[in-house]
Amino acid sequence: MKVGVEGRESKVENKNLSSNFNLQPLFSTFNHLPSSNLFVIWCLRFGHYLGQSMDINKKEVSEYFYRQAIRFLSYRARSEKEIRDFLNKKTKNKSLQLTKLSSREYIENTIQQLKKENLINDNEFADWWIEQRLSFNPKGKKILRLELLQKGIDPQLAEEKINNTNQKYFQKAAKEILCKKIKLYSHLKKREVKDKLIKHLLRRGFDYQSIKVLVDEFSEKS
């Protein structure tokens, strides 16, 4: 299919066609894939011959970006920044031949559509991220705060979400980590065990004051 498209493209360029040139035969080639990515790219390449039909091309390109975003969201929840960064990479495709201005327009329109459908919601994303981290990959407040900021969450919102998370969930997460780690240090002296456990929890983002009591309890039981 790609060879055929390139062959037709060179034929159009060599004939130096006017805007009145009838491209209907070329369209018929793509009747079986009207919404495919190939069709979108083809429209962009030949769009300057289509006159008023360019409105249809813009719609197709918009649908292309929307479908890409939906596919990206299908794996897990995403923040607005994550989706913007992802769509921005899609605009780098040289075959699309998008200008910086049109790229920003397509991205912004896609973002607004996703927000309207509540598929982008940083407030809900922050709650989801904290819950997932504490449940499956325990981290302390410091690391969670840093991760949310990296995801583009507003600093004030990130701080609010972390502070509103019940402290018992962080304690539970820290205990789960200690249960796994303390078994690895059974051959060490009690002082060494405490030092290693504290350092490990500090690296995971837990603050010293909240973990010292827990570490003392675990080291006494070991």
Higher-scoring residue by pLDDT: 54, 143: 143
**Plot region of 56 (φ>0 → left; ψ -120 to 50 → alpha; else → beta):** alpha
List, for residues 90-103, the tens digit of each pLDDT value.
988 766 667 777 88
Q: How far apart are CA 150 and CA 78, in angstroms?
A: 12
Same domain, 149 and 199: no
Same domain, 32 and 79: yes
For residue 60, give the 3-state DSSP assignment.
helix
Same domain, 6 and 51: yes
Domain that holds residue 184: 169-222
Same domain, 111 and 126: no
Number of domains in the chain: 3
pTM of the model: 0.69
120 touches 152 (CB < 8 A):
no
User: What's the pLDDT at 113?
Assistant: 97
Here the tokens at position 126 are: 């922050």
Backbone angles phi, psi at 118, to 5 degrees: 60, 30
| Residue ranges with strand state E in 108-181 | none
Instruction: Please state the length of the chain.
Output: 222
Higher-scoring residue by pLDDT: 110, 215: 110
Query: What are the CB-based long-range contacts (under 8 Å, 24+) for 178-187?
Result: 178/214, 178/215, 178/218, 179/218, 182/218, 182/219, 182/222, 185/222, 186/222
The mean pLDDT of the chain is 78
48: amino acid identity, one letter? H
User: Can you give the CATH number for the domain in which 135 is found?
Assistant: 1.10.10
Q: How far apart are CA 106 and CA 206, in angstroms?
A: 41
Query: How far, CA to CA in Å, does 135 sit from each of 34, 78, 132?
Result: 44, 18, 5
Same domain, 33 and 104: yes
Same domain, 93 and 173: no
Cβ neighbours of residue 110 under 8 Å, at least 6 residues apart?
62, 65, 66, 69, 83, 87
List, for residues 106-136, the tens digit of each pLDDT value.
999 999 999 999 999 999 999 999 999 999 9
